[in-house]
Structure 1
């Protein structure tokens, strides 16, 4: 087969349980068509998978057949996986490069600092879902030798994330004054944060093509 570095060869696989490994994804999709490569991003801090992957096939026909067979039909850990076409605007042609930069969907990633010890993932979800739909559950972790409780929250779109920041930053939540801002980009240069003009344009494109469901 001829291989073209075209995003038409690549599918987005979403709603993945973080327990699923790259090897399991390979074993599943190789049953349908030959797999060229898999990009399965991890959170740089927590080293956990983020609930989605990009799987590249040798041609567009193989990719389209996989979408027809597997979208909303296969369950892994009781989750129906989503398999969709990737558009070039998402930037997935970089799968073929040797760059170490992880490819991530253009969601709005927030960093929440100074959470109360009593706050858990369900409570965070309820708090932030008041402003708009979030993608996957929050990621809670600790900094400063376990003294500072923090979290990542992923919004579907930046307008809702902007509203959450405006409403919650420097507010008391469970008797603890939290800070809410956009997270730093894991693979960005310098102090680049999520939420720049390019992020927002890509986010609108992804929403338009129903890539974030």
Structure 2
């Protein structure tokens, strides 16, 4: 007969009577068990293992902590590099936004005249005209660089079609860095939603209090700040006003732009640069956490992640643990950060390629080195605006290659044809006829038919210019030789090579 104390009812009675019950069999954590149960069970995991196994477990834990710390540190380094790259790209975009292209300039005008015409929109850093060394005169266009991007933006909005020296000038943004255009649009979109207003062409006798009394009619003003030569000295003629809300800023721009204040026409627009910053100060912004701080932060993060992983997963008995070889992580020294390449700078392929065919002859090595040197030097040529203005040429071979590239860049593939047709002969089929006629000299890429008046009067006679862009400069040279002086419908055609920069900026008035 079965003992009553061994039956389920007897065991329950013994538990209720307070008798000591011993565990028999294996404990299994079911669906209703607490989450802490696996962690509690893991505490007794090392009770019945040997000293060798205990040493291996200790080494495994140490290795896991080290690898977790390195992994977290690597993630932090990558995140910081991305932040630095975005900061550098934004700085490049702001530098590009400070420049204004000015085309269709009269050949009699000098840089000082252009500077005087564009000065009311803000402080100008430089005016650069492109000169033709053969003709000893400028090519009819220039670049005006402001100290602030908001000044350049106002000049773009206000100087389009303005008459300087008897000609309507054309303005636009430089197009040598199309990859920066999305960032430029992003910066302008952010500025459009801001509450800060930029003012230029301010009378020297007008101060912050005078501006506040005038502009507070549009809403509550947070601050008025004029740029000054020195603290407490005279102001430079421009400044910023910050409103409490967006609508007040919009109303002040709509009402006060080109407003006569003290005998000078104000220029008012949205501010782009953040308060109390400049492009130069953005370039000097320190980057990178100190190495000790980064390692400490990574170690804490790795420890927390390890605790979370242990508490959320059941343990497994370790039989044999052999740590894999450690992974090395390059940590930058204190005060230094791994800077990403700026916009437009191409990393040379030669720097990323390992040496191959080490058993080849010395002549083969020289030939391969020579082949690798040429593209590497060409790709290392500066592509950004800042690097182009601060290029340093080192070595005779590098200087020779750079001069070759500059000569190639000066060659244009555009030819302009004058006196070929009259305005009455321009129709829808003219482009196809010109393209077919010029295709014998080279592959035609684009044809532009441009009509212009001889002067600014409405009844002035019009002339027709035909611009033909070829795939290669040889096509333009062949077209010039073949068409210049040729009779076409009783007229003598005049063919000339046209400046590539003017054509790219759609300036057909030269």
- 1:9-158 to 2 correspondences below 5 Å: 9-72=98-161, 74-89=162-177, 93-94=385-386, 97-98=389-390, 108=412, 125-126=418-419, 132-133=447-448, 157-158=469-470
Question: Contact between 2:103 and 2:140, CA under 8 Å: does it hold in 1?
Answer: yes
Q: 1:155 Cα deviation (Å)?
A: 5.2
What are the ranges of 5 or more consecutive residues in structure 1 without an aligned counterpart?
Answer: 112-122, 136-153, 184-193
Aligned residues: CA RMSD: 4.8
Structure of higher RCO (CA pairs closer than 8 Å, 6+ residues apart): 1
Q: Which has the larger radius of gyration?
A: 2
Asked if the contact 2:105/2:164 (under 8 Å) is kept, the reply is yes
Aligned residue runs from structure 1 range 166-205, under 5 A: 166-169=478-481, 173=485
TM-score, normalised by the number of residues in structure 1: 0.53
1:156 and 1:171 map into 2 onto residues whose CA distance is 12
Partners of 1:28 and 1:62 in 2: CA distance? 13
Structure 2: state its 5+ residue gaps.
1-90, 179-382, 393-402, 422-430, 439-446, 451-465, 488-494
CA deviations 1:141-191 (Å, max 9, x no partner) are xxxxxxxxxxxxx9574459765544442567379xxxx9979xxxxxxxx
Q: CA deviation at 1:17?
A: 0.5
Q: Report the Cα distance in structure 2 between the residues aligned to 1:51 and 1:134, rounded to whole angstroms.
A: 20
**Matches of 1:182 and 1:167, distance apart in 2:** 9
Superposition deviation, residue 36 in structure 1: 0.5
C-alpha contact (below 8 Å) 1:15/1:82 kept by paired residues? yes
Which residue does 1:115 correspond to in 2?
none
Distance 1:172 1:61 in 2: 46
Q: Supply the distance in 1 between the matched residues of 2:109 and 2:388 (Cα, whole angstroms).
A: 23
The TM-score normalised by the length of structure 2 is 0.25
Cα 1:107–1:18, aligned 2, differ >3 Å: closer, same or farther? Answer: farther
How far is the alpha carbon of 1:68 from its aligned partner?
0.6
Alpha-carbon spacing, 1:81–1:182, altered in 2? closer, same or farther (3 Å): closer
How far is 1:85 from its partner?
1.5
In 2 relative to 1, CA 38–71 (structure 1 residues): closer, same or farther, beyond 3 Å?
same
Q: SS of 1:86's equivalent?
A: coil
Determine helix, strand or coil for the equivalent of 2:177: helix
CA distance in 2, matches of 1:134, 1:106: 24
Identify the structure with the greater strand proportion. 1
Q: What is the SS of the residue equivalent to 2:157?
A: helix
SS at match of 1:17: coil
Which residue is 2:506 aligned to?
212
Aligned equivalent of 1:119: none
Q: 1:172 to 1:65 in 2, by over 3 A?
A: closer
